[in-house]
Amino acid sequence: MSLRYAVLTLLDIDPGSGYDLKRRFERSVSHFWSASHQQMYRELHKLHDEGLLDCEEQPQAGKPDKKVYSLTDKGRAELRNWVAQPAAPQKIREPFLVRMFAGHHLSRDELHGALDAQLQLHRGLLDNYREQNERVLKSDPALQERYWLAHQTLLLGIEAEKTWITWAEKLLVELEEKREETN
């Protein structure tokens, strides 16, 4: 259900097309939600059918036309109403940790490889979030004030990545120690 409201929130901040939304999801929401372009277009059609979005076709020079969506009053009301409700807690799902849970089936080298790949992944995410953070800190102070909470979610994303990285690094060290013990 949250995709619906993630889309409404982004369009509330700034109107845009399905393609725009997809990129904004990757650039500025990726630390708490992700969605494919098919999901965007389907959701936009649905929201438009329900009268929560207006749609305006914009011809563009040198590029295909785009359909720019923006919130209707009904859409804004729906969003405000939802934000005030408690959100269902997310079901935690971490395929990597399922793998680690069965990790006694892995050789030391395989385990090392798996942990290292995960470490690289989270370092990449951390870099990405830090870049986003730099962009926010350089932006208009009035906007920073208005979207203060949105920025806080990014800071949580950064802390979460640090937690992962610290964990993986520590495990790699312990793995190395175990190797030396056995040799």
Partner DNA sequence: TCTTTGTATGCAACTGCTTGCATAACCCGA
Partner DNA sequence: TCGGGTTATGCAAGCAGTTGCATACAAAGA
Of 94-153, binders to DNA (CB under 7 A) are none
Q: Which does 167 bind (CB under 5 to 8 A by kind): its own copies, DNA, none?
A: its own copies
Task: Provide the minimum distance between the beta carbon of 143 and DNA in the complex, in angstroms, as a whole number.
Answer: 22
> 67 near 61, Cβ under 8 Å?
no
Among the candidate windows 14-22, 44-52, 57-65, 98-106, which touches its own copies by CB under 8 A? 98-106
Task: Provide the minimum distance between the beta carbon of 64 and DNA in the complex, in angstroms, as a whole number.
Answer: 4
> 141 near 173, Cβ under 8 Å?
no
Write the CA distances from 63 to 33, 67, 84, 162, integer angstroms: 28, 12, 40, 40
| Interface mask toward its own copies for 56-95; x: CB under 8 A | -----------------------xx-xxx-xxxxxxxxxx
Question: Which CB, 30 or 39, lies closer to DNA?
Answer: 39
Question: Which CB, 88 or 142, lies closer to DNA?
Answer: 88
**Whole-number Å distance between alpha carbons of 129 and 156:** 10
**Exposed / middle / buried, residue 18 (Cβ in 10 Å: 0-12, 13-18, 19+):** buried
**Whole-number Å distance between alpha carbons of 77 and 161:** 34
| Interface mask toward DNA for 77-96; x: CB under 7 A | -----------x--x-x---
The answer for residues whose C-beta is within 8 angstroms of residue 27's C-beta and 6 or more apart is: 132
The encoded tokens of residue 124 equal: 């990449």
- Residue from 5, 20, 114, 151 touching DNA (CB under 7 A): that is 20
> 102 near 124, Cβ under 8 Å?
no
- Residue from 30, 72, 128, 144 touching its own copies (CB under 8 A): that is 30
Q: Using CB under 7 A as the criterion, which residues of the chain lie in contact with DNA when the complex forms? A: 1-3, 17-20, 23, 34-39, 41-42, 44-45, 60, 62-67, 88, 91, 93
